[in-house]
């Protein structure tokens, strides 16, 4: 919710009534009320979820779910037709709803998911809604990618710690297994010893480092420490 509020707050915002009543609605004239439509969508896009049939579908046609006025028969027909299509898509897992175990009237949908579905279904949505949701969709993806990168970096850091810790333990406890045919400390031999008991060292942590990356990591520290010991000889 806070993220959506922040996203929308950074965006610059740019009745013809006929008979037949629908309980969710008021129609905003596309020519004279662009600013009102912008405010309508900004208000609703701050919400984390919508009732699919009583809020989401009407909003795709710039109908305000919080007001109850008359809308044209033609628009009522469009809303009912799209609602029927949405119902079939939910049943066929083409439109994700949050609580499909409840009655259809209570079905809830995330705005981004509804927008993606409407785009695929080629619904002629208002320009203000398309622009706003496209911006939100792009921004949320960037945030998610950033979080994913942070998680990856964190996992790699833990992998490096485990690898170096295991290398130290093996060097101290079984130094002979860490030497090659020339009796030199060998990073490849150390890594092979680590991988023999990978579950012991990594436990519940997924190993992301490849064997080659582990060898390179240990080599870096072996080379880094070598001058210290050569100076003492």
For the stretch 106-141, pLDDT in tens is 999 999 899 989 988 899 998 888 888 888 777 655
**Closest Cα to residue 42, out of 1, 3, 13?**
13
Domain boundaries, the chain: 2-125, 146-232
Tokens encoding 196:
């023999």
Cα–Cα dist 35/24, whole Å: 21
Q: In the chain, which residues have pLDDT < 70?
A: 1-33, 68-69, 139-153, 224-233
pTM for the model stands at: 0.50
Residue 180: its pLDDT value, please? 85
> In angstroms, what is the C-alpha Rg of the chain?
30
Residues with Cβ within 8 Å of residue 156, at least 6 apart in sequence: 208, 209
> How high is the pLDDT of residue 209?
85
- The residues pairing with 63 across neighbouring beta strands, listed in sequence order, are 27
pLDDT of residue 21: 40
Q: What is the spatial distance between Cα 116 and Cα 130, in angstroms, rounded to a whole number?
A: 10
């Amino acid at each position: 919710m806070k993220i959506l509020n922040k996203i929308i707050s950074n965006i610059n915002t740019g009745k013809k009534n006929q008979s037949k009543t629908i309980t969710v609605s008021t129609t905003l004239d596309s020519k004279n009320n662009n600013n009102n439509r912008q405010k309508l969508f900004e208000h609703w896009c701050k919400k984390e979820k919508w009732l699919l049939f009583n809020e989401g579908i009407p909003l795709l046609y710039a109908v305000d779910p919080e007001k109850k006025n008359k809308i044209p028969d033609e628009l009522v027909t469009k809303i009912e037709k799209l609602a029927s299509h949405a119902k079939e898509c939910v049943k066929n897992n083409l439109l994700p709803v949050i609580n499909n175990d409840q009655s259809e009237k209570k079905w809830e949908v995330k705005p981004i998911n509804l927008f993606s579905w409407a785009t695929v279904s080629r619904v002629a949505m208002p320009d203000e809604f398309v622009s706003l949701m496209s911006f939100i969709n792009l921004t949320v993806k960037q945030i998610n990618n950033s979080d994913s990168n942070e998680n990856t970096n964190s996992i790699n850091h833990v992998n490096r710690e485990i690898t170096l810790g295991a290398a130290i333990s093996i060097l101290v406890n079984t130094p002979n297994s860490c030497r090659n045919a020339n009796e030199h400390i060998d990073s490849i031999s150390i890594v092979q010893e680590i991988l023999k008991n990978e579950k012991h060292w990594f436990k519940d942590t997924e190993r992301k480092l490849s064997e080659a990356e582990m060898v390179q990591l240990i080599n870096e520290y072996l080379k880094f420490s070598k001058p210290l010991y050569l100076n003492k000889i």
